[in-house]
Amino acid sequence: MILIDAVFVGSYGGINVLKTLINSIEEGERKLFILFLDQRLHDLDLNTENFKSVSYVKKGILSRQRNFSKLEDEIKVVLSLGNVPLVVPKSIYQITYNMQYFVFDVSMINSFRLKFSWLLKGFIIRTLFKFTKSDVAVQTNTMASLFAKIKSGGEIYNFPIFKPIIKSKKIDNTPTNLSSR
């Protein structure tokens, strides 16, 4: 069985990644997957039909770990989408998709409360990555280089889900050019 762990997915970007992943799994293959979804996503329109099981799990490391422990013997692969790897036995392959830059740098956050929250979250996430064998999938080369600094083992894969933004030519918006449009 393959566990898709989306317990910490709550942002629009994370939800888009989750939807993209779920929709990419063919109907006939879904019976090989177990979904852990954040309970906050319960009312979200996700196509979860035909999966072996779908559990809505309370957001939290301990709650998620307890739910995993109940199914641990069935699981061969874990794909974590919420930036945070599970603590799994070495016999289980794990890859964690991480897109959150605030794990490494909170300087762009203005709110003291939010900054403190991300400092704590970042510390926990970096610590888990140091002590688990989880491989990492990231969206950009920048994230790959940041993870390379903290990972002692496992692979780092650049796996962009979203297409890169292509900068278009700047439009000349001088008043003389605006009147001709």
Residue-wise DSSP of 39-52 = GGGTTS----TT-S
Rounded mean pLDDT, 7-30: 90
42 vs 75, which has greater pLDDT?
75
Distances (CA, A) of 4 to 22, 60, 63, 168: 9, 16, 16, 37
Share of the chain above pLDDT 90, in %: 35
| Domains located in the chain, CATH noted | 2-178 (3.40.50.2000)
Q: What is the pLDDT of residues 85-123, one digit of tens each?
A: 898 888 899 999 987 888 888 888 888 998 998 888 888
Give every CB contact of residue 60 below 8 A, 6+ residues apart in sequence. Answer: 7
Residue 177 has pLDDT above 70, yes or no: no
Q: Which of 68-72, 117-121, 133-137, 169-173 has the highest mean pLDDT?
A: 68-72
pTM as predicted: 0.81
What span, in angstroms and rounded, lies between the C-alpha atoms of 111 and 71?
39
Q: What is the pLDDT of residue 176?
A: 58
Q: Write the pLDDT tens digit of every residue in 45-70.
A: 888 999 999 999 998 899 999 999 99
**What pLDDT shows up at residue 25?**
94
